[in-house]
Structure 1
Amino acid sequence: MPATSAHALVRAADLLAGQSDAAVAEVGRDLRAWLAGEGPDGLEDAIGLHRVGGRPWRTAWLLQRRDEMLRAMAARYFGDRAQAAQADALAAAIGRYAATAWRRERVLEQSPARHAGKIEADVWSLLRTHDTVPSARTIRRALATTPWW
């Protein structure tokens, strides 16, 4: 790790350790200890990030973010429908966008202005977070579950 990155990490640990939120401060203290050579070798172990459901925590986190986005989109655009119908409609909308505009727009830094206020803007954000088109079954499962944290 370059010296500037290491210094920035030390500063970040100090900032976190000084926070009033106990959980945030604990992460800062654990990070400080890890930087000082105390505790486990791996950063994830040092700050308490563990596997979730057999998956690396980062994968579980990204999938949870995707599922949150799916729940919000279902409520916003298809809230008047039953859950299974929401999932089917959402899967169709995501698949349609992924097969058309996403091919050109995936390289953009933000969703095009022409999508503002439309489902396409939310689908763009969803695919930027997790570049896989979820099936209707995956969406149904997401709509029926709550976050693990």
Structure 2
Amino acid sequence: MSYRYSAGASTHQRDLRTQLFSSANGLTKTPSRVGSPYDKVTPASAKHNESYLSSLESQNNEELDNMSQKVAMIKNLGVKMGSEINKSIKLNDNIAENMERGKVTLKNTYNRMVVMSERAGINCKSWFVVFFIVFLWFFYVWIT
């Protein structure tokens, strides 16, 4: 056991280990270290690729923001168009109701006029002739 820890034994073991890496002429050659993919030092091309990828990512982010703004604008436009359509539908319904009321009013007025003409003893055709003559008179005055 003392042989194992003696100075002579350690040199012998070291010689055996160095013989594994020695060349044919007896010179020892230290093994070259293979570069680790986890090295902190990056080559210039990798730094260039990294900056290129960074610029692409920033361009991508800018385009994404631009597209998001456009989508928001289109959404707002759609909402505004929807509200305008709803307003025009309400207006159209209101106009239809007013036209219906006007139709009923005109019908009632015509019926009253017929009843009035029957009570007066003058038929409806003669009233139309009178109104036509008055209309022609106003038209003549308007033209001259």
The question of a shared fold, defined as TM-score above 0.5 by the shorter chain, is answered with no
Greater helix share, structure number:
2
The structure whose Rg is larger is: 2
Normalising by structure 1, report the TM-score.
Answer: 0.19
